[in-house]
Amino acid sequence: MDVERELNALRDAIREHNYRYYVLDEPSIGDAEYDALMRRLRALEAEHPELITPDSPTQRVGSAPSEQFAKVRHPQSMLSLANALNREELAAWHARIRRLLGEEEPIAYVVEPKIDGLAMAITYRHGRLTVAATRGDGTVGEDVTPNVRTVHSVPLRLRPPTGGDEIPAVVPEQIEVRGEIYMRIADFEQLNSEQAAAGEKIFANPRNAAAGSLRQLNPQITAGRPLRFFAYSIGPISGVRLTSQWQTLAYLRALGFPVNDDIRRLESFDEVVRYCEAWMSRREHLAYEADGIVVKVDSFTQQAELGVVARDPRWAIAFKFPARESMTTLREIVVNVGRTGRMNPNAVLDPVVIGGVTVANATLHNEDYILSRDIRIGDRVTVKRSGDVIPKVVGPVTSARTGEERPWCMPSECPSCGEPVHREPDAADYYCVNAACPAQLVRRVEHWVGRGALDIVGVGEEQARLFVERGLIHDVADLYTLTPAHFEGITGYGPKRIANILQGIVASKERPFDRLIVGLGIRSVGETVAALLVRQYRSIEAIMSATEADLVAIPGVGPHIAEEIVRFFRHEPNRTLVSKLKAAGLCTEGTATPALAGAALVGKTFVLTGALPSLTREAATELIEAHGGSVTSSVSKKTDYLLVGDAPGGSKYIKAQQLGIPMVDEVGLRALIGAELSLRAGPRAEGEGQPTTERRAPSGSIVAAQMNLDL
């Protein structure tokens, strides 16, 4: 093959793989194969530099650092959006557009998650990326072309659309694509820990990280940052006529741009409201930060009729989610000792309301976290609260420093028992290693009496503290030695209350074996692993004598967990504790219990395709993970199930069909969990083979609830 032909073939193949990997999230070759193609292309280009084209996949990082960014005037202003902070404001917006368009006229809406990144305008001439500019003030932005070229999900060259479904089958002569450059939350956290380790700047949130990464004068730095792109609209376009937002998004997708899968076209305002509200809770499960939902009138004719006021189009609005970040003053840093002896630094804050909840304490993780972010006592700090997660201090607002702030360091002694604290060479945490430390014991008792463990009604933090401080108990087994006499003279503890507490303690002896394992508080051993251990070993003695090799052989137990289990039982005081518990009459043997519901899908890999009737993708993923399974993005021989939503037929479906991978719908998924539950709830039959659900279904058939009844 002549060189030019080979170069073109290689570039086409690599472009296609990039598109599959970065845009569709469905790679069809492995990293090694991809690397081999890139290496071949680089080698050929090195031999024939005259044949290098600017849109070659090797040319994402080509230019030298610049002195400063050139200004770019946007040919069409980049607008901003008016906000609706609640349902009423959204309804008021709707009433206004209704009035302007006429009460009778049907209106369709496009709803889009409002990704928190930074807006870009990227121009393509004859299908090639020419200029990429930031939004700037909406009229003039900065030319960041070399940097944007390093973002893999931004095509350097447009894909020729195949047309159909109102999608024009041509590449436009010129098009300005608008969208958001952003960073996923996980990538942002990873970047921050790398930055901290290198002593570099820490970013306050994914938005700042994206902005900071894009506005680098050296594109090599941008290239190393995990930036992504979503396209959501267009500026000037020539050679193609588009008539609606929905059609535009489909066209952008066809040209090779990533378009958010969660975008919907809705035909009634009620649905818009429902979508916005449903998203308030979904937001917690997203891979990226979204600060609201953008609601747009779909038809371009209607958009033109509604027009723009100042900078805000009347045809769109941002329904904003409650803020999750705020600023306040860090008054003190206190150290709490956890049940494993871990020293947890916590921030005492001036109370601040974030998303409707008052926050007065927040986690600071560990000493490295505080030092790498240079968080000082007295600092103004950014505090973040997301969903159920404990609020955390993100970092200081250094511009607000007065010079009065005091650096902090980890105390050298445990604040509870006064023993010296200890840090393993490569670990981030300090521990109080005194087995008799009262603070640790209080936490261990709290854990023991908790819902997921022995669930002792009437005993909580207050009682745990009381028992420990009065020297009534020295380990959790001592709870079972308590008598009414021990409470004598304690104010607030009358006969009835005492009887309740003691009854609660006695009742806990009836709890199944796996709860006792949870209660022991072995690191990394929660309900799922406890249930697996019980199913495998059936008695505490058997678990205690298992080796790491035995343990890792159990699907769902990794080497780290195995190590923790062995370490726990090697420790003599823990073995003594187990004997005491057994002597006290607790249940130290048994078979699997309904708690095994948590393990029904252990070792099973799912791929999701299409929208499910009542579960979001994130909720489905959570459900699968909560039962021990995992979710991956592409179908392979290793996939156990394809979870199919509406309108199956895409590439994942076809591949699963070819490989004969069982398919389940949402009902089927629930049945798998339920079916396994009943299967494992009873005593385990000798020689029980593979769980029934592992059988491969006939090619392409959907395993629904009924089909699992033959268990």
Catalytic annotation, residues: 114
Is 112 a binder of ligand IVH (CB under 6 A)? Answer: yes
- Burial (CB count <10 Å: 0-12, 13-18, 19+), residue 526: middle
The structure tokens listed for 345 are 């630094």
Tell me the residue ranges of DSSP E strands in 629-703.
630-632, 641-644, 663-664, 702-703
Which residues lie across from 237 on neighbouring strands?
Answer: 175
20 by DSSP, 3-state: which? helix
- What are the Cα distances from residue 136, in Å, to 31, 70, 117, 162, 216? 37, 12, 13, 35, 15
Of the listed pieces 98-106, 311-319, 470-478, 683-691, which binds ligand IVH according to CB under 6 A? 311-319
- Tell me the Ramachandran region of residue 302: left when phi exceeds 0, alpha when psi lies from -120 to 50, beta otherwise: alpha
244 touches ligand IVH (CB under 6 A): no
* 26 neighbors 651 (Cβ within 8 angstroms): yes
The only residue of 114, 149, 152, 376 in contact with ligand IVH, by rule CB under 6 A: 114
Q: Is 79 in the site for ligand IVH (CB under 6 A)?
A: yes
**Total Cβ atoms within 10 A of residue 662:** 23
Task: Quote the DSSP letter at residue 88.
Answer: H
CA geometry: angle 651, 652, 657, nearest 5 deg? 100
Q: Which amino acid is at 213?
A: S
User: Which residue, 213 or 693, has its beta carbon nearer to ligand IVH?
Assistant: 213
Tell me the closest approach of the beta carbon of residue 245 to ligand IVH, in angstroms: 9
3-state secondary structure (DSSP) of residue 658: helix
Rounded CA-CA distance 159/170 in Å is: 9
Q: Kindly state whether residue 135 participates in binding ligand IVH, applying the rule CB under 6 A.
A: yes
Nearer to ligand IVH, 294 or 592 (CB): 294
Minimal distance, residue 192 CB to ligand IVH, in Å: 22
Are the C-beta atoms of residues 482 and 472 closer than 8 Å to each other?
yes
d(CA 63, CA 379): 41
| Residue 362 touches ligand IVH, criterion: CB under 6 A | no
Residue closer to ligand IVH (CB basis): 18 or 153: 153
Which residue's CB is nearer to ligand IVH, number 215 or number 523? 215
Question: 10 Å Cβ neighbour count for 664?
Answer: 24
Q: How far is the CB of 110 from ligand IVH (least distance, A)?
A: 9
208 lies in the site for ligand IVH, by CB under 6 A = no
Binding ligand IVH (rule: CB under 6 A), the pick from 81, 505, 599, 607 is 81
The verdict on 84 binding ligand IVH (CB under 6 A) reads no
Binding residues among 290-309 for ligand IVH as defined by CB under 6 A: 294
Backbone angles phi, psi at 380, to 5 degrees: -75, 130
Q: Which of 7, 119, 272, 554 binds ligand IVH (CB under 6 A)?
A: 119
Region of 75-83, 155-163, 552-560, 651-659 interacting with ligand IVH (CB under 6 A): 75-83
As measured in angstroms, the least distance from the Cβ of 377 to ligand IVH is: 36
Distance of closest approach, residue 365 Cβ to ligand IVH, in angstroms: 30
Contact map string, positions 451 to 470, toward ligand IVH, x by CB under 6 A: --------------------
- Per CB under 6 A, 115 contacts ligand IVH: yes
Q: Phi and psi of 252, rounded to 5°?
A: -60, -40
Q: Which is nearer to ligand IVH, 161 or 313 (CB)?
A: 313
**Residue 249 near ligand IVH by CB under 6 A:** no
Q: CB-wise, 180 or 665, nearer to ligand IVH? A: 180
DSSP 603: T
Using the rule CB under 6 A, is 180 a contact of ligand IVH?
yes
Nearest to 303 by CA among 360, 381, 389, 233: 233
Q: In what helix (H) or strand (E) does residue 177 lie, and over which residues does it extend?
A: strand 174-183
The reply to whether 80 sits near ligand IVH by the rule CB under 6 A is yes
- Cβ partners under 8 Å of residue 249, min gap 6: 110, 231, 232, 259, 263
Tell me the pairing of strands 325-337 and 357-363.
unpaired
Determine, following the binding rule CB under 6 A, whether residue 144 of this chain makes contact with ligand IVH.
Answer: no
Residue 11 or 178: the one with the smaller Cβ distance to ligand IVH is 178
Which segment (7-15, 111-119, 270-278, 372-380) binds ligand IVH by CB under 6 A?
Answer: 111-119
- Residue of 161, 313, 395, 629 that binds ligand IVH (CB under 6 A): 313
Stretch binding ligand IVH (CB under 6 A), from 88-96, 108-116, 201-209, 584-592: 108-116
Q: Is 669 in the site for ligand IVH (CB under 6 A)?
A: no
Residues in the chain, how many? 711
Shortest distance in whole angstroms from residue 566 CB to ligand IVH: 50
**Span 209-238, contacts to ligand IVH by CB under 6 A:** 232-233
Between residues 272 and 595, which has the closer beta carbon with respect to ligand IVH? 272
Residue 169's Cβ-count burial label (10 Å; 0-12, 13-18, 19+) is exposed
Pick left, alpha or beta for residue 41 (phi over 0 → left; psi -120 to 50 → alpha; otherwise beta). alpha
The CA distance from 673 to 106, in Å, is 43
Count of residues that interact with ligand IVH, criterion CB under 6 A: 15
Q: Interface with ligand IVH by CB under 6 A: which residues?
A: 79-81, 112, 114-115, 119, 135, 180, 232-233, 294, 313, 316, 318
